[in-house]
Structure 1
Amino acid sequence: MKRPSLSIVVIISLILVQYSIISFAKGYEKTIIIIRMENTIDLGMEDLLSRAINTASPNTKAIVIILNTNGGYLEATEGIVDLIMRSTIKVIVYIPAGGRAFSAGAYIALASDRLIMAPGSVIGSAEPRSIGGMKEDPKIINAMASWIESIALSRNRNATAARYMVTENRDYTAMEAVKYSIAEYIEADFHRMLVKEGLGDAYINSISPDVRSRFISVLCDPFILGLLLELAALLILIEVFHPTYLGGFAGGAAFVLALLGLGMIGADATAIILLLLGISAILLEVKLGHGGSAIAGAILIIFGTLLLYRREYFIWTISYTSLLVGGIAIIIIVSGVAGFYLHKIREVIKRRRSPLDLNMLIGKVGVVKSRIEPGKPGVVLAMSDYWTAYSDEVIEEGEKVKILRVDGLKVYVRRIEKK
């Protein structure tokens, strides 16, 4: 009887704990959700904001975004701005001391219901840039300028000042942003900012990027996708020559992940074709072996990767050239390692002649299993196989012979004289 009684006590205790938690949560008339958007604005950040909005309850009074970024990708920026603009919950963006809302961050900040900046923070530099930091086509600049202007107007902000962030790549300090009606006010202390917004007594629910959001961020990086495709090809090739199933499984998984990432970022056909041609050229190094094919493959993969980046018009205010050179260097190193490995595989293949190459029998020693006479074939055992054998002399069973030439499945032999 003790065991059932103990079970009842445990169940009742769990019910009471659950009730206490629910009552505790209901005790707060207001809750706020806080998320951080730092570093690169990508699809992982969009997923984070979407999760925050979906987590909101009827008591959620605001979603606070602590923003500090140098920029990110256009597609992710569009998605985040759409989520903010359609949200039925007030969205507050807070740029901390020394923080930045450059490029993509400027669009997100302007889309918010309330924008508060700390001393030493800055917003702006939203001019679209292409690969290498060059200015984009005037049509694209005008389109982005009109978009940021419409965002500002929808939030009753200074549309002209917002437009200058794109057309003149202008930045605004916290004081300038308040002066030109871009930000609401300046506040150094985050908690005091919440008090001013009437949220000082609200229950805070902080949401951090989960495994899914981080996974999406990594998988949507074009350089990562290029490396995944190279890795997939190399692992599958290793599996072909060194069957363990592990290499084939890992290579297949890397290839599937790369395809998933290419689909998520909406890669165009030209970029995908260049990437696949690059992988094919690297694999061709096994056949050619002079190194040129691996180099060509690396170049094709680099151009394919650049095309993946090219579809994202913006949005870097840091040294894009440094980022680009670093990424290209990684791809070249990986391609070089892959090419070296494939070259070594080719050398091994050349040394190990194919079992189907019957000329390998020439010069081998065999044992006569059936008497051989001129014009009358016998049987010879050589290299663990039986062969129809011919000779110009009589050779008795059990004698050793040397294979002189091969004609189809027939071998021509000569007796090895006993010493």
Structure 2
Amino acid sequence: MSATRSVWGRTRLILSLFCILASMILSLIPAPTTHAQTFQRAVWIPVEKEIERGLEAFLRRAFAEAEAQQADLIILDINTPGGEVPAAANIGELIRQSPIHVVAYIRNQAFSAGTYIALNANEIVMTPGSSMGAAAPIDLAGNAASIKFISGWSNQMQAAAKLNDRNVDVARAMVEIDTDFPGLKPKGTVLSLDAERAKELGYADRIVNNKDELLGLYGISAETMQTIEPTIGENVARWVTSPVVMSMLLIIGLVGIVVELFAPGFGVAGTISLCAFSLYFFGHYVAGFANWLHIGLFLFGILLMILEIFLPGGIVGAIGFISIVSGLVMAAYDTEQGLASLGIAVLITAIVTFLLIKKYGLKGLINRFVLGDQQSNERGYVAPKDQRSLVGKKGIALTPFRPAGVAKIEGKRVDAVSAGGFIQAGVPIVVVLVEGTRVVVQEDEIKE
């Protein structure tokens, strides 16, 4: 009996050790990557370069197309250094309101506004070596934004983090430079995260090595997935709607007009100006910010400015100027940005105008609209002879009139035209009208 118990005890010990060893081995084997939800139709949308209003317009079109195709998964391929906060805020709202499951795939970088866009997605997937964060806002000059703006942007980042129960202190640490966050970053810096650190802090849901692994994660085949790319027009719109480029186009357009006024004929400056304004309106039209009303206001203003040359008084020119400004500003994606860009352009144009007047004087401008040459007998100019005294005079047709011909009136040859039909040579005629050098005759009813 005791021997049986001894054998059974050793057997249980061996089984226990085997189970422990098996558990240890299984714990070392990585579990297969699975996802609780599989998808049937996916759409791939690139989010590249700087974030601006043109990108926003493209994404609105892409999301609408994905919804029309009944896609159940949108993958945003994010690789951006950041960009405009207002554009990012609108894109974030677009993502939140989409009925489609959205995954932010960070394959390289998603800094600043790019981080905000990613946080609004349902999931964030990163690749090894990719980064996100560093979301402190700066102005166009590269300086830190005001405290008020930083506070508002920090709140937006925290709200986006809360959407998927992420630590809001991490979002704050990405924005607030002058705040110390123990364990995250010291005062005077902003937080950025690599893929591993983001996964540790809950800011990356998964890490994948490449696109194929990402698609396998969601059960999507690369052959069935559609990629929505921006059109050529949308790429142009993204470039044109950049605040810097927008200001440059307005500067080129206005300066080109001024230079053209000092140059003879419609030449290079006028052509460049026309191209700059055309590109400005084309980009904003494609992006969905400008319409034909704005373009019409601009063209109507140009027409009134031209009429002001011939109808002096100032009223027509003033209305034309207001119409031009209204068209340019209303076409911009933001009224304040449009006014700012136009203000910069007007200031630089005024400086260029001053320099041109200083070099060429007002005479160079006035001569574009006032005839400066004098006509004199010394230079071979002879005023036409007044022939109004010929009205009522009679003569004879020296040549046939078809309707022009030559008549003999008071013994002199006179070039004339017929007031009616054909007049044969030798027929008596009478002068019925004189307009400048034009003498009009008709057949005389009373024969001589």
TM-score w.r.t. length of structure 2: 0.56
What letter corresponds to residue 281 of structure 1 in structure 2? I
Q: Deviations over 1:104-136 (max 9, x none)?
A: 111011111110001001110001123443322
Question: Which residue pairs with 2:216 in the alignment?
Answer: 195
1:84 equivalent to 2:81? Answer: no
Question: Which residue pairs with 1:31 in the alignment?
Answer: 41
Question: Which residue pairs with 1:255 in the alignment?
Answer: 277
1:220 equivalent to 2:241? Answer: yes
C-alpha contact 1:220 1:261 (8 A) present in aligned 2: no
1:164 equivalent to 2:173? Answer: yes
C-alpha contact 2:329 2:342 (8 A) present in aligned 1: no
**More contact order relative to length (CA 8 Å, sep ≥ 6):** 1
List gaps (5 residues or longer) in structure 1. 1-28, 290-342, 367-379, 388-419
What letter corresponds to residue 42 of structure 1 in structure 2? E
Question: In the TM superposition, what are the counterparts of 1:276-295 in structure 2 within 5 Å?
Answer: 276-289=346-359
Q: For 1:239 and 1:268, locate their aligned partners in 2 and report how far apart those are by CA, in whole Å.
A: 24
Q: For 1:78 and 1:104, locate their aligned partners in 2 and report how far apart those are by CA, in whole Å.
A: 8
Pick from 133, 137, 152: which aligns with 1:143? 152
Pick from 121, 124, 133: which aligns with 1:124? 133
Percent sequence identity over aligned pairs:
24
Following superposition, the deviation at residue 52 of structure 1 comes to 1.4
Question: Which residue pairs with 2:122 in the alignment?
Answer: 113
Question: Which residue pairs with 1:407 in the alignment?
Answer: none
Question: Which residue pairs with 1:384 in the alignment?
Answer: 381
Question: Which residue pairs with 1:50 in the alignment?
Answer: 60
The SS at the match of 1:35 is strand
TM-score w.r.t. length of structure 1: 0.60
Most deviating of 61-70 and 127-136: 127-136
Root-mean-square deviation (CA, aligned residues, Å) is: 3.3
| CA spacing shift, 1:207–1:76, aligned 2, 3 Å | same
- Length, aligned pairs only: 284
- Misfit runs of 4+, over 6 Å: 345-352
Q: For 1:350 and 1:129, locate their aligned partners in 2 and report how far apart those are by CA, in whole Å.
A: 46
Q: Deviations over 1:184-221 (max 9, x none)?
A: 01111212212212334772111111123212212112
| CA spacing shift, 1:383–1:223, aligned 2, 3 Å | farther
C-alpha contact 1:30 1:202 (8 A) present in aligned 2: no
| CA spacing shift, 1:198–1:135, aligned 2, 3 Å | same
Pick from 236, 253, 256: which aligns with 1:235? 256
Question: In the TM superposition, what are the counterparts of 1:317-328 in structure 2 within 5 Å?
Answer: none
Question: In the TM superposition, what are the counterparts of 1:348-359 in structure 2 within 5 Å?
Answer: 355-356=371-372
What letter corresponds to residue 49 of structure 2 in structure 1? N
1:209 equivalent to 2:223? Answer: no
Question: In the TM superposition, what are the counterparts of 1:341-352 in structure 2 within 5 Å?
Answer: none
Q: For 2:235 and 2:144, locate their aligned partners in 1 and report how far apart those are by CA, in whole Å.
A: 31
| CA spacing shift, 1:385–1:247, aligned 2, 3 Å | farther
What letter corresponds to residue 273 of structure 1 in structure 2? G
Q: Deviations over 1:304-350 (max 9, x none)?
A: xxxxxxxxxxxxxxxxxxxxxxxxxxxxxxxxxxxxxxx6x989789
Q: For 1:276 and 1:349, locate their aligned partners in 2 and report how far apart those are by CA, in whole Å.
A: 18
Pick from 261, 264, 278: which aligns with 2:333? 264
Q: For 1:137 and 1:238, locate their aligned partners in 2 and report how far apart those are by CA, in whole Å.
A: 39
